[in-house]
Structure 1
Amino acid sequence: MSSRLLLATRNPGKLAELQRLLTSAVPGVAVLGLGDVPAYPEVPETGASFAENALLKAREAVRHTGLPAVADDSGLAVDALNGMPGIFSARWSGRHGDDGANTALLLGQLADVPDERRGAAFVCAAALVTPEGAERVLERSWRGRVVREGRGRNGFGYDPVFVPDGLELTSAELTPEQKDAASHRGQAFAALVPMVAELLRRR
């Protein structure tokens, strides 16, 4: 089995989350982030879907590093906004990765939406690409609702304003272990882990 697997992300929260999932499930594999490999120009996320963007990022990572790579694209799809911000979640306010501004804009757009119509889902597409050309991609979602004020310090992005179905806590109030077990990304990477193990054993 290959000793190294690249997670194609610079997001420290996402990297920590994915490292927890993959390191424990695929023994003997060193999980690297983009900060652990020589820098390369990252292509814009021009895909029309989460799956397209995830594959785009994973393919570029393999092309530049020669390592098997996992990438994800994820975001929040809000029912009252016809599925937006969706693939634009990280740059909804116009500034990529500005969690505070993105969340403030979203809450402003939903200010007049009644509680019963504030349904939403976190969506994650996860892709695995190897230098030999094998590709796998899958998608999972986590249903819930958007609350009016942020709560909690765990997580990142829209976690503080998202309450999963069946819970009263926001995603940012859950422990990392609770979130891994239930979240869109946790579900996607749990499903991807056997594929990672299988493809890496073939190398």
Structure 2
Amino acid sequence: MDKIIFATGNEGKMKEVRMILEDLGLPVLSLKDAGITADVEENGTTFEENAQIKAKAIMEMTGALVLADDSGLEVDALDKEPGIYSARYMGHDTSYHIKNQNIIDRLEGKVGEERSARFVCAIAAAFPDGRVLITRGTMEGQIGYEEKGENGFGYDPIFYLPEYQCYSAELSLEEKNKLSHRGKALRLMKERLHESFNCQ
């Protein structure tokens, strides 16, 4: 194995991924780096299923070790919406400013724990020999009353962390890597990959 492909074209995400996986000793390529333009349909019913569908599809195309993630926001008062539909919520082309405001509006009148929410990330690793590893990480918090912060993307500006008294979009990249759902799932995956490499 001479490389890892991480199935995303999101450069913000790749920055986070490379920081955490750098000591695996293999280059970590994005889909763009690997010259792949495939659009894999994620039709699973859970974050884990979607991550596995994407990882396996790209692994079959490339013959490389492929990692893929599926992540999203679960808001308890909204029956865990937007969940696996987080990226497609209210339509692919709808701005996150509009999506975020919609969630805030739907929680009107709710306070404190009634606004509980979490970011979830599942990561799948598909090996050329057919093995699949899956890890999951979460970041617990609440939906804020407004958008705040310039860092991060997506739902970060409305995700409030009571323990740290700040929004996810106010964290530095280093802080976010330590606390985030993706950071937790990636570190777990790194451990599993280390074990897997050592067993070969």
Do they fold alike, i.e. is TM over 0.5? yes
* TM-aligned CA distance change 1:144 to 1:22, over 3 Å: same
* TM-aligned CA distance change 1:165 to 1:133, over 3 Å: farther
Give the stretch that moved more between structures: 164-173 or 101-110. Answer: 101-110
What is the aligned partner in structure 1 of residue 9 from structure 2? 10
Mapping 1:46-57, distance limit 5 Å? 46-57=43-54
- CA-to-partner distance for each residue in 1:108-162, whole Å, 9 max, x for gaps? 2223433441110111111111111111112121110010111111111111111
> What displacement does 1:97 show?
7.5
Which of 121, 131, 156 lines up with 1:134 in the alignment?
131
What is the aligned partner in structure 2 of residue 73 from structure 1? 70
Which of 113, 122, 127 lines up with 1:125 in the alignment?
122
Q: Residue 93 of structure 1 contacts residue 105 of structure 1 at CA under 8 Å; is this kept in 2?
A: no
1:179 matched to 2:170? The reply is no
> What displacement does 1:99 show?
2.4
Q: Residue 120 of structure 1 contacts residue 146 of structure 1 at CA under 8 Å; is this kept in 2?
A: yes
Give the stretch that moved more between structures: 189-198 or 99-108. Answer: 99-108
Cα distance in 2 for residues equivalent to 1:96 and 1:131: 34
1:151 matched to 2:162? The reply is no
Q: Report the TM-score, using the length of structure 1 for normalisation.
A: 0.91
* TM-aligned CA distance change 1:196 to 1:97, over 3 Å: farther
Letter in 2 for 1:12: E
> What displacement does 1:67 show?
1.0
* TM-aligned CA distance change 1:101 to 1:64, over 3 Å: farther
1:198 matched to 2:184? The reply is no
* TM-aligned CA distance change 1:182 to 1:162, over 3 Å: same
Other structure's SS at 1:131 match: coil
1:189 matched to 2:186? The reply is yes
> What displacement does 1:167 show?
1.5
Paired residues, number: 200
Other structure's SS at 1:121 match: strand
User: CA RMSD of the aligned region, Å?
Assistant: 1.7
Cα distance in 2 for residues equivalent to 1:39 and 1:127: 18
- CA-to-partner distance for each residue in 1:24-74, whole Å, 9 max, x for gaps? x31x21010010123243221100000000101110110111110111100
Other structure's SS at 1:9 match: coil
What is the aligned partner in structure 2 of residue 163 from structure 1? 160
* TM-aligned CA distance change 1:75 to 1:6, over 3 Å: same
What is the aligned partner in structure 2 of residue 108 from structure 1? 105
Give the stretch that moved more between structures: 12-21 or 79-88. Answer: 12-21
Unaligned runs of 5+ in 1: none
Letter in 2 for 1:46: N
Identity %: 37
> What displacement does 1:202 show?
5.7
Unaligned runs of 5+ in 2: none
